[in-house]
Amino acid sequence: MKKATLLSPAEAGRCSLFAPVANVDQGIVSQAVLTTPALRLTLFHFAAGQELSEHTSKARALVQILSGTCAFSVGATRHTLRAGDLLHLPPGAPHALTAPEPFSMLLTQITEPAA
């Protein structure tokens, strides 16, 4: 049986963000790394040519590129992100992405307490 997340929120642990991924040749594969009420880490692997249409999130987000390159739009601004780049998205920022080549990213979403 597959674990719901790679790490348990109740105990210390480790996982590899660079482990090989199957079935990503023509799509997008995601894996929950860690999930708590205020924090969600998700590992994404994109095949070349994949896109995510513009959307928003209520959470604050950090996008860390692990491998490859992607075109990431935040509103009208387009960024070319490469391995090692980190992008911050405040809550509500419209964003989209395109994968001109295979790439992997770690998405960290932080749900901030209501004011």
The pLDDT tens digits of the residues spanning 29-52 come to 999 999 999 999 999 999 999 999
Contacts of 44 (CB under 8 A, 6+ apart): 28, 29, 30, 104, 105, 106, 107
Q: What is the pLDDT of residue 1?
A: 40
pLDDT of 114 strictly over 90: no
Q: Residue 46 phi/psi, 5° resolution? A: -115, 135
Q: What is the pLDDT of residue 68?
A: 96
Q: What is the pLDDT of residue 2?
A: 52
**Which CATH number is 43-110 given?**
2.60.120.10
Mean pLDDT computed over 77-84: 97
Tell me the pTM: 0.92
pLDDT confidence of 3, banded at 50, 70, 90?
low
